[in-house]
């Protein structure tokens, strides 16, 4: 099996873009991913949308770790996830990003990581 790649993503009030982001993670060609998404005190439907994706991540064989914290900022959100990620490789992606389907594989080849 290929090494686990962990993705950390802080999110605040991402209701309008989080679906696009989560779909782009689920469409990755790399087979062994863990997404840690930290909700930084959102006041919209961010939590509901993320939690609706849990079964999709399970079906894909990916791990989705959802963490809620009171609003403390992006740095605090990232720091909350750092002690618990399990991957051999780590990447920080914003929750309003979109990753092309082969983004993780290409990044691994470029830096000598997973491929």
φ/ψ (deg, to 5) at 102: -110, 20
Higher pLDDT, 29 or 112: 29
Asked whether the predicted pLDDT for residue 111 surpasses 60, the reply is: no
Asked whether the predicted pLDDT for residue 110 surpasses 70, the reply is: no
Quote the CA–CA distance of 83 and 95 in Å, as a whole number: 20
Q: Largest Cα–Cα distance of the chain, in whole Å?
A: 40
pLDDT value of residue 115? 59
pLDDT tens across 33-45, in order?
999 999 999 999 9
Question: Do the beta carbons of residue 19 and residue 48 sit within 8 Å?
Answer: no
pLDDT tens across 51-86, in order?
999 999 999 999 999 999 999 999 999 999 999 999
Give the SS3 label for residue 91.
strand
Q: Which tokens sit at 62?
A: 């990916």
Helices and strands, number each (H, E), in the chain: 5, 4
pTM: 0.93
How many angstroms from the chain centroid is the CA of residue 92?
8
């Amino acid at each position: 099996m290929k090494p686990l790649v962990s993705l950390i993503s802080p999110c605040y009030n991402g209701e309008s873009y989080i679906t696009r982001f989560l779909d782009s993670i689920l469409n990755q060609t790399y087979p062994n991913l863990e997404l840690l998404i930290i909700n930084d005190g959102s006041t919209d439907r961010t939590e509901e949308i993320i939690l609706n994706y849990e079964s999709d991540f399970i079906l894909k064989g990916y791990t989705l770790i959802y963490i809620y914290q009171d609003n403390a900022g992006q740095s605090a959100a990232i720091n909350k996830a750092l002690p618990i990620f399990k991957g051999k490789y780590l990447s920080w992606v914003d929750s309003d990003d979109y990753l092309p389907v082969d983004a993780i594989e290409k990044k691994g080849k470029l830096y000598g990581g997973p491929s």
